[in-house]
Structure 1
Amino acid sequence: MIISGGKVFSGAGFDNRDVFIEGERFAQASTGECLPQDMVDASDCWVLPGLIDVHFHGAMGHDFCDADDEGISAIARYEASQGVTAIFPTTMTLPVERLIPIVTSIAAHSAGEDEAAIAGINMEGPFISPGKVGAQNPAFVRGATVAEFERWQKAAQGKIKLVDVAPEEPGNLEFIREVSDQVRVSLAHMCADYETAAAAFDAGARHMTHLFNAMPSLHHREPGPIAAAADRRDVTCEIIADGVHIAPSMVRLAFSLFPGRMILISDSLRACGLGDGTFELGGQEFTVHGNRATIENGSLAGSVSSVMACLRTAVTKMDIPLADAVRTATMTPAKALGVDDERGSIEPGKIADVVVLDNDLQVKHVILRGRLLF
């Protein structure tokens, strides 16, 4: 296959060049005759690597915590249709008896030819703070233990790539020290001050979950965990740029504080892709009105936007340069989660996942593992 005439994301910007695909991989050049049906015209379009979402819970009426294979397929199919070609299904704060079958079902899933690939699993909770649960269920919050994490990882066939921890809770700093060489640890849903967050980074944490949300804010005398992360050059930070969770000026501030270290996520719920209504999240109900999802107490429950929609919002409504926004949904998450040898950029030898956007940043074509999806 040849994708011709497009403006191809290069990492730093965009180049006018053709993209060659042989089988499921990008190639240096075409090694044989390319038939007309294998030509994709990307004239005046943006050609991006398939997007990666490292943090989201569901879509199209399904949630990964349902532990249902057909539901996983429906979610992965929807994501691929949005140009999101690699996903990290994300769990909730639940009892271990529920978490084990959830990660087992995700690890056992085999992606269909029209489904985004599962590149790993993200464990959001239960090792969080009862004071910053957000839409998580406080009844199931508990301290971090290596034994419980090892049970998850065994059931997940080693596919857990990210685990969330509130560092100020008793025993959690020691947990970070013990597992940070096995999995990327993210600070999340926390009440930690600057010193505690800094200690967590010293212990091996290298990530922050949905920056600004469910954590102390920046303050000039009490700088908090955001400033602690900004002081480190090896810490990546997620951000939800759906136009609801964070004001545009704060998104721009985040990109300035963490140059090259931002990761765009959707944190989407089962309501993503559907309209208004009432839905379930981790045993609690949430209501969707327009682009806003809230639980009964008014707290935001997550988003109803795909990461592609968040990228579009970041560029068109928040003044984030397109190349910067693309990097946060491709190269940066791929490197942070250890899948950059296969994904995140358009380079010979890597998996041929491509999304072609028109000038309005709407999805025109998706190539999934070397196959034209549409």
Structure 2
Amino acid sequence: MHIRNVRVYREDKSFAEGDIYIKDGLFAEPQAVCGDQEESVDGEGGYAIPGLIDIHFHGCMGYDFCDGTQEAIKGIAEYEASVGVTGINPATMTLPVEELEAILATGAAYGKTQEEHPDPERADFLGVNMEGPFISEAKKGAQDARNILLCDVDIFHRFQRAAEGTVKYIGVAPEREGALDFVEAVKDEVHVSLAHTNADYDSAKAAYDRGACHAVHLYNAMPAFTHRAPGVVGAVADSPHVMAELICDGVHIHPAVVRATFKMLGEDRIIFISDSMRATGMPDGRYTLGGLDVDVKGNHATLVSDGALAGSVTNLMDCVRTAVKKMDIPLGTAVACATMNPAKSLGVYESRGSITVGKKADLVLLDQDLNLKAVIKDGKMLTGKGR
């Protein structure tokens, strides 16, 4: 395949007019393609960016990863690919341990089947982000308090065995009993993230000093960042090895705070996530998240019980658009936060996350207004059956 007349996204976060060549599902040098009877695609002067990677979301199109079925994961993966998200690392909720084990086992089985029988119409399954159960009841958000547990290394290993090693992130509330010892015990096996926590600055910083390296949806489900009590946000700022998730759906974080966070952390430490739930891509109405009822109206999803935000109903590509058009984040920076940065965090940057010769040819073509024109997955143009 030869893609011409397009502004190509580069690893330095800039765009350059040029061509893209694809052969055998990988980005290729021109000489490897020229002379073949290759498919030619006119980019019409728009943008070519890498396929997006969402490391934290729950579902879409009526499905949730915690449904625990192959059908649900397949439906999720088809929708995500159709909107330009070509790599997925879905998140679990705070559920009973045995139920989580079954969900993780289903995810691992799906991943193996996908490797054996690739389908370019579906986003690649890259692992799992466990948002619970080792969190704080004080900041549980849409998590079910009945299933919250203290950190337990043995239970984590049960999760990882069920997942066949595919758990990439495990969330903890560092202020709770045993949490810091847990961080030190598992830090070499998984990314430990601070999630749904009521930790003050000292507790959060201690966790990061002991080996935690990630922050789940910064600002949400944690204490506010203030001048005398900087909390988790301040600890993230003071821990250069930590990467932080941001939900740029226009609901969870004010645009001024998003801009301030880039100034505070720098563009290389921020990962855009959607945190989308099953109502994404669906009409307004009542849905569920982690067994709890959620009302969805427009781009707001709130718990029926107490009105707390319950994830988002915005896919990651729309979050990128919102960051650029409504939050004044430069396009090159926003793209990095949804492609290169998550790929680096997951440890898959050698094979995906940029338009680089030898990497997987996962590509999104946008027009000059950032509307989706086409998705190319594994070097093949999607037919759009997931839309």
Into which bin does the TM-score normalised by the smaller protein fall?
A: over 0.9
Contact 1:251/1:318 (8 A) holds in 2: yes
Contact 1:2/1:34 (8 A) holds in 2: no
The match for 1:72 is 73
Counterpart pick for 2:210 among 203, 215, 224: 203
The match for 2:3 is 3
How far apart are the structure 2 equivalents of 1:237 and 1:140?
Answer: 25
Contact 1:53/1:87 (8 A) holds in 2: yes
How far apart are the structure 1 equivalents of 2:348 and 2:203?
Answer: 29
The one-letter code sitting in structure 1 at the alignment partner of 2:97 is V
Work out the percentage of aligned pairs sharing the same amino acid: 50
Q: CA deviation at 1:336?
A: 0.9
Q: CA deviation at 1:206?
A: 0.6
SS at match of 1:271: coil
Q: CA deviation at 1:187?
A: 0.6
Counterpart pick for 1:324 among 330, 333, 337: 333
The match for 2:164 is 157
Contact 1:166/1:191 (8 A) holds in 2: yes
- Tell which deviates more after alignment, 253-262 or 170-179: 253-262
- Tell which deviates more after alignment, 318-327 or 103-112: 103-112
CA deviations over 1:152-203 (Å, ceiling 9, x no partner): 1111111111111111110011110011111111111001111111110111
The one-letter code sitting in structure 2 at the alignment partner of 1:364 is K
Q: Does 1:340 align with 2:342?
A: no
The match for 1:23 is 24
The match for 2:381 is 372
SS at match of 1:301: coil
1:118-137 correspondence to structure 2 within 5 Å: 118-137=125-144
The one-letter code sitting in structure 1 at the alignment partner of 2:294 is F
Q: CA deviation at 1:29?
A: 2.2
Q: CA deviation at 1:355?
A: 0.3
The one-letter code sitting in structure 2 at the alignment partner of 1:249 is A
Q: CA deviation at 1:129?
A: 0.5
Q: CA deviation at 1:34?
A: 3.8
CA deviations over 1:89-137 (Å, ceiling 9, x no partner): 1100011110011011111113433100001111110000010000000
1:96-245 correspondence to structure 2 within 5 Å: 96-109=97-110, 110-111=113-114, 112-245=119-252
Contact 1:86/1:119 (8 A) holds in 2: yes
Q: CA deviation at 1:367?
A: 0.5
CA deviations over 1:53-103 (Å, ceiling 9, x no partner): 000000000001011111111110000000000000110001111001101
Q: CA deviation at 1:30?
A: 3.8
Q: CA deviation at 1:258?
A: 1.4
Gaps of 5+ in 2: none
How far apart are the structure 2 equivalents of 1:91 and 1:321?
Answer: 31
> Root-mean-square deviation (CA), in Å?
1.0
Q: Does 1:35 align with 2:41?
A: no
Q: CA deviation at 1:238?
A: 0.3
Q: TM-score, normalised by structure 2?
A: 0.95
The match for 2:283 is 275
How far apart are the structure 2 equivalents of 1:23 and 1:98?
Answer: 40
How far apart are the structure 1 equivalents of 2:286 and 2:36?
Answer: 49
Q: TM-score, normalised by structure 1?
A: 0.98
How far apart are the structure 1 equivalents of 2:361 and 2:170?
Answer: 28
The match for 1:290 is 298
CA deviations over 1:322-359 (Å, ceiling 9, x no partner): 00100000001110111111111111111110000111
SS at match of 1:339: coil
The one-letter code sitting in structure 2 at the alignment partner of 1:21 is I
SS at match of 1:17: strand
